[in-house]
Amino acid sequence: MPIPSEAVCPTLPSPAPKGLLRCEMCAAPTTCGTRSRVGPADAAAPPDARRTPRPQASDHPFSRARPAPARRAPGSYNGRLMTAVLPLPQPLADPAPRDPRQRLQREQLRLGKRLQRQVGQAIADFGMIAPGDKIMVCLSGGKDSYTLLDMLLQLQRKAPVPFTLVAVNLDQKQPDFPAHVLPTYLRGLDVPFAIVEQDTYSVVSRVIPAGKTMCSLCSRLRRGALYAYAQAHGVTKIALGHHRDDIVATFFMNLFHHARLAAMAPKLRSDDGQHVVIRPLAYVREADIAAYAQARQFPIIPCNLCGSQENLQRQQVGRMLQQWDREQPGRVEQIARALADVRPEQLADRTLFDFLALGRNGDAAPPDPDLDSSAWLAAGDSAHDSD
């Protein structure tokens, strides 16, 4: 039966690609709110005949007339004025103030871990400790030696190899030296220790004129006493508290005052060949040691023998390095790294690099038995005389 034009007609999707919605059942296209896709048969029709008027929303049978939304006034909801006052949320309570001591403890913990990591790295890089070593920690009462002993005691509990420690202090009989401080501190740590008494102060005061530097002679006498104790008690390694800044300062002291490129080796054999000296703090900055010593509250003993002397060479170099670090942070660190990257072929030390064996193209030069350095010296002298 025929379908009346007033019947409700659903809109179905067109099977054409990207087809628009069209009415398949509507007999009067003009009353339907859908567009029909222009087919090949409609293409020949005039443009005015193909163009259909744009349908309105109210023309479609499914559409319903909706009133325009009412304009809402400020402070209203759905056209009605809001008169009720809503309670405001209670403000959050202020957080409890943090204890500054907790922050200080965290910083001290991070500093201690960094120092342990640097000491462990130096020990691993230079093979400072071997299984079964008996290490003598030279304890002077300063911040460096206190930090060295503390670091080695902490590493001893978790080290991959077993080793023993003994703390040794040399009592040089300086005036007003508090002889009770170190024994009391070491007994509290429950670490083996020994106090070696030797009157080096009188020797240094008698030999060195007033106003001159005592450090050189004092260090030699102190070193001899410590070496003698180590040999008598079966010590295999002697640990000193020199840090990174000491190594860099020694390099410049040798450069300025002794005309040589030398510093402090992290590990070396003594001149007599009987002792091995290690410096586990070789990677640690002096500023970190000072902060760690203050945090740990070590009983620091000042050195009255040489600390009161003015214009010492090491103090001058230390002030120079501090100024460099303030002006260009990281410069001292770069110098310390340069000491581990030496290029002998780019220096002028003939004992470290065989320049005579270097040929024209970099290969080995053939030896010339008829030519030696004396011939060149004679040629240079004759040329100078002729001028």
Q: Which residue has the higher pLDDT, 290 or 222?
A: 290
Of residues 141 and 386, which shows the higher confidence score?
141
Q: Which residue has the higher pLDDT, 21 or 42?
A: 42
User: Are 309 and 147 within 8 A, CB to CB?
Assistant: no
Q: Are 261 and 347 in contact (CB under 8 A)?
A: yes
Mean pLDDT, all residues of the chain? 79
Q: How confident is the model at residue 290 (pLDDT cuts 50, 70, 90)?
A: very high
Q: Report yes or no: 201 and 172 within 8 Å, Cβ to Cβ.
A: yes
Structure confidence at residue 364 (pLDDT): 61
Run of H or E including 233: none
Residue of 138, 124, 118, 358 whose CA lies nearest to 244: 118
- The response to whether 306 counts as a known ligand-binding position is yes
Give long-range contacts, CB 8 A cutoff, 24+ apart: 370-375.
none
CB 141 within 8 A of CB 301: yes
pLDDT for the residue 272? 84
pLDDT, position 114: 96
Write out pLDDT tens, residues 92-114: 666 666 667 777 788 889 999 99
pTM of the model: 0.69
Residue 128 has pLDDT above 60, yes or no: yes
In CATH terms, the superfamily for domain 107-341 is HUPs (3.40.50.620)
- Give 11's pLDDT tier (boundaries 50, 70, 90): very low
What's the token pair of residue 281? 């703090």
Nearest to 169 by CA among 188, 153, 203, 192: 192
Model confidence band, residue 22 (pLDDT cutoffs 50, 70, 90): very low
Q: Is 297 a residue whose pLDDT tops 70?
A: yes
In this predicted structure, what is the pLDDT of residue 95?
Answer: 66
Provide mean pLDDT across the span 153-177: 92
pLDDT on residue 186: 95
Residue 263: how many other CB atoms lie within 10 Å: 19
Strands (E), the chain: 11-12, 22-23, 76-77, 80-81, 133-138, 163-171, 193-197, 237-239, 267-269, 276-278
Report pLDDT for 209: 76
Of 313 and 17, more confident: 313
Q: What are phi and psi of 134, to 5 degrees?
A: -110, 110
Rounded CA-CA distance 138/224 in Å is 13
Helix and strand numbers, DSSP H then E, in the chain: 12, 10
User: What is the rounded average pLDDT of the residues 212-217?
Assistant: 72
Q: Tell me how far apart the alpha carbons of residues 123 and 117 are, in angstroms, rounded to a whole number.
A: 10
Q: In the predicted model, what is the mean pLDDT of residues 317-346?
A: 93
